[in-house]
Structure 1
Amino acid sequence: MMKVGLVDDRYIDLDKLTAIVGGIPDIEIVFSTTSAEEAYEHIKKETIDLLIADIEMPSLSGFELADIIHSHALSIAVIFVTANSGYAVHAFELNVHDYIMKPYPKDRLVKSIERLKEKNQSAEIAGRLYIKHKNDIHIIQKKDIIFIERSGRSSTIYTKSGSIKTYQTLNELEGELRERDFIRSHRSFIINIHYVKNFSLYAKNSYVVSFEGIKEQAMITKEKVDFLQENYF
């Protein structure tokens, strides 16, 4: 089920979006609003896979929403539906999925969403990590990995559903985790930035990282904290 958010400051255009998107199988509309500020609040609190937005809106624009999504490395695709062609080049610099000009036929939007669904299904297969440990092979969704710790001769992968040990090194695992979500925070840790709750000063050049949903903690260097603040937050 793909979760979608809709925002357009014109009621007639929002109604059209809602009618089209609501009629596509396996789609759940999480919010539908004429306020970009309200859409932003939803994005902070709720999980969506796709944002469909007008660009030129009062106060906060659809382009600014897409920029927030991109700069925070959120796993949300964006489709712009707009009457203004002037943002197209900058929009694709933000890696938006599509740029649809108003007025548009129903099939134009439906095909775009169906193309995204197919892309996501392929990414889900590619987004798995195959972990060998003794005689077992564990298959883990990369998005479920919270952090990885190297201790002694083994690595422990902490996920939302538990932990798994492997003899694969952090260098080997880091090579499999090329997504922007993961960073090598310390010589002994790889973390998924989407689960980070806070950093607590540990020593002059290092911090303890706490995560949502688990009590285990990781380490991060001051250099990597500065890098995160500059490029992600």
Structure 2
Amino acid sequence: MIKIGLVDDRVIDLEKLNGIVANLPNVEVIFSTTSAEEAYEQIKKESIDLLIADIEMPYLSGYELADVIHSHAINIAVIFVTANSGYAVHAFEIHVHDYIMKPYPKERLVKSIERLIEKSKSTDIAGRLYIKHKSNIHIIQKKDILFIERTGRSTTIHTKSGPVKTYQTLNELEGELRERDFLRSHRSFIINIHYVNNFSLYAKNSYMVSFDGIEEQAMITKEKVDFLQMNYF
């Protein structure tokens, strides 16, 4: 059973959320409110797994509410349902599960919730990579990969425990990283979206990507950011 809280200052939009979510199997709506302040008070009193929130609301915004959840390391997933696309990139900074633009079909929200439920069943990426480098073979847990970078004829796999070098190409490695968690963000990079900490504008059509725990950065094209917004957020 997944416990959900709903908040949207527009009554008609809140009723739409209720109508979709309340009829899903294995789902319980813990609260439904037009006030982000009230939602915050409810979160402090009752445990929920998922908050579905509008962004632009008076007084306390949905983004500010999600930021409080993230900064206090509260284990609540967040789905933004909004008419404003301007927060999409920033949503990565607070690890929002999804970013849905209004107006949206019922199936879009249902699919997002089902994806969260499946993700909660298996939080770790399964499997290992066998990396060849000269006469050595390194065994790397996929879940420990932050990002992969191609420089010249060499590839560096940045992991939680440090970098691993190989001559295998990104195309070869991409074929072994078919999990949804990995994205070919740029011709020279593959990133694990779960470790992304921040996007910062680098050029007109690209961003630098920062990760939890390391100083090294990757790159992502604007086209791939748009892809993430459509398919992940």
Task: Provide the TM-score with structure 2 as the length reference.
Answer: 0.53
The aligned amino acid for 1:137 is I
2:47 to 23, 35, 43: 35
Structure 2 residue aligned with 1:104: none
CA change 1:120–1:224 in 2 (3 A) is closer
Alpha-carbon distance in structure 1 between the residues aligned to 2:112 and 2:232: 19
Instruction: Report how far residue 35 of structure 1 moved.
Output: 3.4
Match of residue 94, structure 1, among 108, 114, 119: 114
Q: Residue 195 of structure 1 aligns with which residue?
A: 195
Per the alignment, do residues 47 and 151 of structure 1 end up closer, same or farther by CA in structure 2, a change over 3 Å counting? farther
Residue 71 of structure 1: how far off its partner (Å):
4.2
The 3 A distance-change label for structure 1 pair 158 and 47 is farther
Distance in 2 (CA, whole Å) between partners of 1:120 and 1:202 is 31
User: What CA distance in whole angstroms lies between the structure 2 residues aligned with 1:189 and 1:207?
Assistant: 12
Unaligned 5+ residue runs, structure 1? 10-32, 52-67, 73-89, 98-115
Q: Secondary structure at the match of 2:210?
A: strand
Q: Distance in 2 between matches of 1:136 and 1:210?
A: 30
Residues 165 and 8 (structure 1), Cα distance of their counterparts in 2 relative to 1, 3 Å cut:
closer
| Alignment partners' CA distance in 1, 2:176 and 2:47 | 40
Normalising by structure 1, report the TM-score: 0.53
* Structure 2 residue runs without a partner (length 5+): 6-44, 52-65, 78-94, 100-109
Tell me, yes or no, if the aligned pair for 1:186 and 1:219 is still in contact at 8 Å: yes
Higher-RCO chain (CA-CA 8 Å, sequence separation at least 6): 2
Aligned CA distance change for structure 1 residues 43 and 179 (closer, same or farther; 3 Å): farther
Match of 2:180 in 1: 180
1:205 aligns with 2:202: no
Query: 1:178–1:163: structure 2 CA closer, same or farther, 3 Å change rule?
Result: same
RMSD: 3.8
Work out the number of aligned pairs and report it.
151
Give the match's secondary structure for 2:215.
Answer: coil
AA aligned opposite 2:147? F
% identity of equivalent residues: 66
| TM-superposition CA deviations, 1:19-53 (whole Å, max 9, x none) | xxxxxxxxxxxxxx8532x76589953679xx9xx
